[in-house]
Amino acid sequence: MSMNKYMHPRNIYHKPPDFKELAVTYPEFKQYVKLDISGKTMFDFKDPDALRSLSRTLLKKDFDLDVEIPKNKLIPTIPLRLNYILWIEDLMDFICREKDIKGVDIGTGASCVYPLLAAKKNEWSMIATESDKDSVTFAHNNVERNNLTELISIVHTSGDTLLTDIVDCASHIDFCMCNPPFFSNTQELHPFFKARSKNRPHPKNAFVASTNEVVAKGGEVEFIQRLMAESKILQNRVLIYTTMVGQKRDLPVLKKTLRDIQVSSFKETEFCQGNTTRWGLAWTFTNYDLKKALDLVKLSAKPPKCKAPLIYQLPVKDTTSESVSNMTDTILTMFKNLKMTIEEVTRNKMHQRYFLTTSSNTWSHQRRKRRERMRQTSEDSLSMQDVPEQNDNDEDEVISPAKRTIEDICENTCKKLRLSTDSDSSREVFKFMCAFNCDQDKLYLEFNTLNEDHNREYLHQILQYVKNNICKDDAKLAA
């Protein structure tokens, strides 16, 4: 499922790139774009060369950055990188930092994409650290070819510390950022090990990276905990520490670590793009309460509109207590006959509310069920006349074809909602709200689902069942 609608509201990739336009404008990219017989644009996200060209093209088109991405190095996903930068912008706004902002990118990689985006977009000063010698060379070249050497410094580190040596040499640091290695060993790189379940589909994008870029002892948890341990020593020498988290299951242990080192406050966010979700953690030892920082991603995600309830005016002459009670009892009796569980929620003179739960579709095809019951009764009476008397000691049980037919029919009539196979109780399949509302001299029946994921078609079916049976009761009274 595409997560683009949950992107940061300022992310320009809310609307996916026009691949046809990119192919026309950038010849290097054109070779990776194909047209099918209907004229639809086709792009192979599993082709590493195509994906590398896409990242380079987007950086050039949208940020005027000329970035070399080596074939054996990690291919940066630009919408994700931009989401992280935009979140840092929000945090800097929250602490009222507007000028002379200085940040550190821990493990910048060969593309050096975070510092390049931060410097080009916001004119921030960036220190980019990297322990891999080849990546340092490529990062240097990328900074120089974009004329950003005054804003970006590349530092080749030994890997013994993540941040301490850099902070000791800096006058001030506003923030640090980090895209840590996700995996603890090379075996975890296989899609089977990366998936949370066997049925989970494999990633749709090609995966290309050197081992040191994505694998570290203890995986991302141990790597981030190293950063947290250093932050405890450095305290407010860095105003805000941040990191990306690749796996949601790692968040609880990381947040516990933040509590253990007694940070002043911390903040969590989501980076959503394409079919991928990542998470961000920020913490501080200053007096800034990061929990009060607005999460623009969550604010921009509009909640789903609540669907209006189904409303039906019940046929009552007045809304006296007796009339309302009689009608309510009649309808609740219908539900009991349908084997629904009834839970009273509120009950007063003007408003009565119930939760109803069912584990099978007992309201559909009522006419057919009545005909089958009548037919079975008739057949049973005829068969009783023809079947010879059985001895009590007979071991074989006679099973009539009619009985099997009825079981088959009952199974078919319950095909939309099936009974649980549990022996002790039936599982909850459909739960809805039923209310009786008095308005002057009118009584209304109201139905609504308790879960937006539930099929509202069942509500319409149940309401029709109520209408049909009320009409029958009225007809009987008139007769």
What tokens does 466 get?
């109520």
Contact 232, 261 (CB under 8 A): yes
Can you tell me the distance from the alpha carbon of 127 to that of 152, in angstroms, rounded to the nearest whole number? 6
Helix or strand holding residue 338 (H, E): none
Give one word for 140, left, alpha or beta, with left for phi > 0 and alpha for psi -120 to 50.
alpha
Distances (CA, A) of 384 to 8, 43, 391: 74, 72, 15
Task: Please report, as a single letter, which amino acid is at residue 259.
Answer: R
Closest CA relative to residue 125, chosen from 166, 173, 184: 173
Cα 362-410-464 angle, rounded to 5 deg: 30
The verdict on whether residue 179 carries a ligand-binding annotation is: yes
Contact 224, 178 (CB under 8 A): yes
Closest CA relative to residue 65, chosen from 101, 118, 104, 16: 118
The verdict on whether residue 395 carries a ligand-binding annotation is: no
The verdict on whether residue 130 carries a ligand-binding annotation is: yes
What tokens does 7 get?
């992107």
The verdict on whether residue 185 carries a ligand-binding annotation is: no
Can you tell me the distance from the alpha carbon of 418 to that of 345, in angstroms, rounded to the nearest whole number? 27
Helix or strand holding residue 431 (H, E): strand 430-439
The DSSP output letter for 13 is G
Please enumerate, by residue number, every residue annotated as part of a binding site for S-adenosyl-L-methionine: 81, 107, 130, 179
Please enumerate, by residue number, every residue annotated as part of a binding site: 81, 107, 130, 179
